[in-house]
Amino acid sequence: MTYAISLQRGQLHMRMKEFHDRYGSVVRIAPDELSFNDPKAWKDIHGNRPGHLPFGRNPTWFKAAKPGRPDAVMGPNEAAHARHRKTLVHAFSDKSLKEQAPMIEASSLNG
């Protein structure tokens, strides 16, 4: 219930931080959902692994574009995602994100 209420009120990100501060880097946030706040977890879960199938996109969060509308970067269409990713990948490299961190922190509510 807390998850749904926090999501509806636009406060889920703050509740998730509270949960991680209290319970650690892995938190069960719903009966069928875990939240990880360790950067290594992102690569372990979502990174490409040679010889393995790609991690499927949850249709709850990754919906197909409406007919006649362009596909979103994070949509379910793999070809469109690959095209968008090729354009944006350098902006999200470890080096680039570290360089952008001070600017992001300065403009955040918690900064």
Higher pLDDT, 76 or 26: 26
The dihedral through the CA atoms of 63, 26, 97, 108 has a sign that is: positive
pLDDT range class, residue 83, cuts 50, 70, 90:
confident
Count how many Cα atoms sit within 13 Å of the Cα of residue 61 in the half-sphere of its side chain.
7
45 against 87, higher pLDDT: 87
What is the four-CA torsion angle of 12, 18, 24, 28, rounded to 10 degrees?
-40
Q: With contact defined as beta carbons under 8 Å apart, do 54 and 48 qualify?
A: yes
Residues 6+ away with beta carbon under 8 Å from 41? 25, 26
- Name residue 109's amino acid: L
Residue extents of the structural domains in the chain: 1-55, 60-111
pTM of this structure:
0.53
